[in-house]
Every structure is written in structure tokens, then in C-alpha cells.
Amino acid sequence: MKILLASDHAGFELKNKIKEYLETEGFTLEDMGAHVLIPDDNYPEIMIPVAMRILHDPENYTAIIFGKSGNGEAMICNRLPGIRAAVYHGKNLEIIRLAREHNDANVLSIGAGFVEFEEAREAVRLWISTPFGKEPRHIKRIEMLDNIE
């Protein structure tokens, strides 16, 4: 599984720190931007290619994305059927476990304005290590989400 990383200006610093951490842990990564700090960049331009990559090969890609709150980044990704982005603002890692086990979330959006590096590292560690639970009731709900017309 390749992990895609992306951020706007507000998540840029945290994304780069998490990237360093994941590289030292030996994960396969692709940094999809921003590659330089541009204070007035637009997160949809950065996040849409990330979501599209997952849509085209969901078995081989997942993503961790960063913004000030993480909300807008998740919202744009969630507009695409098949993308299930969960937002983490800090304090309660149970949110991440539930997003993976129950919702098979394939994008983790971290609110860099609310989460320090150490907490983000723990969140990412949990995100990567938590599998989808595959309970029939959760599979049914995910199918309903992914097949909205």
C-alpha cells in the first residue's frame, strides 16, 4: 500500500514532519504537494488529484492529507464516490480507530492547526495499523455511501 501525502499551506510543515517520520519507518510514500510553501494556495487543486489516484487504484493507495482544520480537505475528497475521508482534530484517537474499523476510511485528514507533531505521529501510526473490520453491517453502509447517484 502506497501512502499519498498532501497539504495546503496550513498543513505544509506538519506534512513534511510526518513524511520524514514515515520514511524512517520504511513506508512507501508519494508526496503530492504542496512542495513549496505558497501562502495563498487552494486546497482543492491539491486534494482532487489525491482522491482521483485512490479512485483509480483503491487497493494500492491510501492518503494522509493536512490543512488548518482538515475539514475543507476532507470535504473536497468526500465529494468523489468511493472516497471516505475522516477528519482528526486531536485529543481522541478512538475517532481514527472507528473510521478505519467501521467506515473503511481511505483518507485521513489532519487538522494541522489543532494537532502537534507527536499527536499526529500517534494518529498516523494508528491509522496505518488499524484494518477495516469487515462486519456485514459496515460493508452494507459503505456500499450505500459509495453508490450514491
Bond into 6 cis (ω within 30): no
Active site residues: 73, 102
Distance CA 149, CA 42 (A): 27
Closest CA to 113 of 5, 12, 6, 3: 12
Q: Which CATH number goes with the domain that contains 73?
A: 3.40.1400.10
Q: What range defines the domain where residue 85 resides?
A: 2-146
Q: How many domains does the chain have?
A: 1
pLDDT tens per residue across span 50-102: 999 999 999 999 999 999 999 999 999 999 989 999 999 999 999 999 999 99
Of 90, 147, 84, give the one whose Cα is nearest residue 121: 90
Tell me the per-residue pLDDT of 10-61, one tens digit each, with 9 for 90 and over. 999 999 999 999 999 999 999 999 999 999 999 999 999 999 999 999 999 9
